[in-house]
Amino acid sequence: MTTGRLVTFNFDFDGRVLRQSAQRQGLIAPPLKGLCAMKLSAAWLELSFWPNLAEVLRALGIERASAEREHRAAGDALVTVRVIERLRELSRQGGAA
């Protein structure tokens, strides 16, 4: 992970976890650049708070597939991709959720 952008639901939290994990292994984490789906969703949905992933999924009409288990890294990553895709689709349409 030396180039590119990290896309996570909560970039501040996930970036901190990655830096701490690298530090525990005696590594120096590179500066992280990323996209925060939580903040992007809050802005798009015009929310005055940081929503959790379940709230965003509900607001965007996204249902979890059985393989996308809640509060599991892989499941949350898969639905975060779907959140980003849905927001991109909505922005292209110029419409609200």
Q: What is the pLDDT along the chain (97 residues), one digit of tens a residue?
A: 555 688 999 999 999 999 999 999 999 888 888 999 999 999 999 999 999 999 999 999 998 876 567 777 788 889 999 999 999 999 898 765 5
Q: Is the pTM of this model over 0.75?
A: yes
Give the domain extent around 44: 6-93
Query: Is 73 contained in some domain?
Result: yes
Alpha-carbon separation of residue 21 from 2, 4, 7, 14, 16 (angstroms): 15, 19, 18, 10, 9
Query: Is 1 contained in some domain?
Result: no
**pLDDT the model gives residue 32:** 87
Query: Is 30 contained in some domain?
Result: yes
Query: Is 27 contained in some domain?
Result: yes
The number of domains in the chain is 1
